[in-house]
Amino acid sequence: MSNSIDLDHLIAQLVQATAQLLECAQEELRQIRWQDGEANTDSGYSELACTKFCQAFEKLRNQHPEIQLVECKNPDISFTIRSNSETRTSKVELKSCKANPDDPAVIPGSTIGKLDFNMWVIFCRRSLDNQTFEFRYGRYFRGIFDSPTELFQDRTPRPRMSWDGYQRVNEPPNLEKLDEASGWIKKYAEAAINRISGEYPVNYSWQDDLVKEIIKIAREKGITGE
């Protein structure tokens, strides 16, 4: 057996297999006490996902006996994998939302300042009565909901996540990574200008008045930002 196992590819396979096992676990998912809202921890979802991750690992280990699952725990799926001399500690972010025929499946994401755009995500979309469950997966950045009028408000932005951006569980994992994520400041600055330009229909936000005032003061003081 080769010592040069690709842990990136192996982890991607594990994430896909875990999403597949979760989608097959409909009855177990119905037993979870799902919660909604900002304080949502979905501990039952996380515990079940960790169990399925361990099951997926054991199947994969039949092909790669040199790998070891050192740790797997919640919240989310926090794990450490060892392959000979290489050890990798990482996390699979778990997200969930209710399916709503009137609204797209878009939910708040994590604070952008500490966000790993290449982290793997498993996304559950559940029916309104929590009786049926669909799953998708993929690297975090693939599901970021990109709006030309996104708000930044009064804290580090939390880019929203869209169900439609992620892969179906039967699709092989896309290993592409996002090389440069620091452009988010420029993106939000452009969105702030777009909101007050009149080019896009937007709902009012106090942020728009703030941006107009910043531009006005900068012009009065001759500040160009260079």
pLDDT of 152-202, one tens digit each?
Answer: 665 556 677 888 889 999 999 998 887 665 677 777 788 888 999 988 998
Chain centroid offset of residue 21 CA? 19
pLDDT of 1-13, one tens digit each?
Answer: 345 678 899 999 9
pTM for this entry: 0.71
Chain centroid offset of residue 218 CA? 37
Which of 51-55, 99-103, 108-112, 160-164 has the highest average model confidence (pLDDT)? Answer: 51-55
* pLDDT attached to residue 1: 38
Domain boundaries, the chain: 7-174, 186-221
Structure tokens at 128: 């309104």
* pLDDT attached to residue 156: 59
70: left (phi over 0), alpha (psi -120 to 50) or beta: alpha
pLDDT of 52-87, one tens digit each?
Answer: 999 999 999 888 888 999 999 988 999 999 988 789
